[in-house]
Amino acid sequence: MQDTQQPNHFVFDARGVAKRFRHAAIFGALEQLHRGEVMRFINDHEPLPLLQQISQRYQHQVQIVAVSQQPGEVVFDFSVFPAGADEDEATPPASGGSCGGGGGGCGCSGG
């Protein structure tokens, strides 16, 4: 779903996606974004393993920015940059919490 306020922003609300499909669905959505586009990611918990996987998989092609971190709703913007983008622009946020997921989907008890 596209955010009508900004034409190059797309919303991905993971709360409506079955846990075992979340990571694969998120990677698929990220891979459909074009340079300069942003995916606003909404989740019910802070997805640390997912953020680490995105950083490892896409390295400096995806910038991760924490927008909001409220109980039951965390929001991140994933921005796509071309390969070789400045490292300082694509540093993932330092954050606490865990979701115990990884590779095979998020293993959280929440959501």
Which domains, from first to last, does the chain contain?
A: 9-89 (3.30.110.40)
- pLDDT value of position 82: 64
Q: What percent helix, strand, coil does the chain show, rounded to 5?
A: 30, 25, 40
**Structure confidence by residue, pLDDT tens digits, 23-61:** 999 999 999 999 999 999 999 999 999 999 999 999 889
**Structure confidence by residue, pLDDT tens digits, 54-77:** 999 998 899 999 999 999 999 999
Tokens of 93: 């946020």
Mean pLDDT calculated for residue range 80-108: 45
Name the helix (H) or strand (E) containing 67. strand 62-70
Largest CA distance in the chain: 37
Residue 111 amino acid letter: G
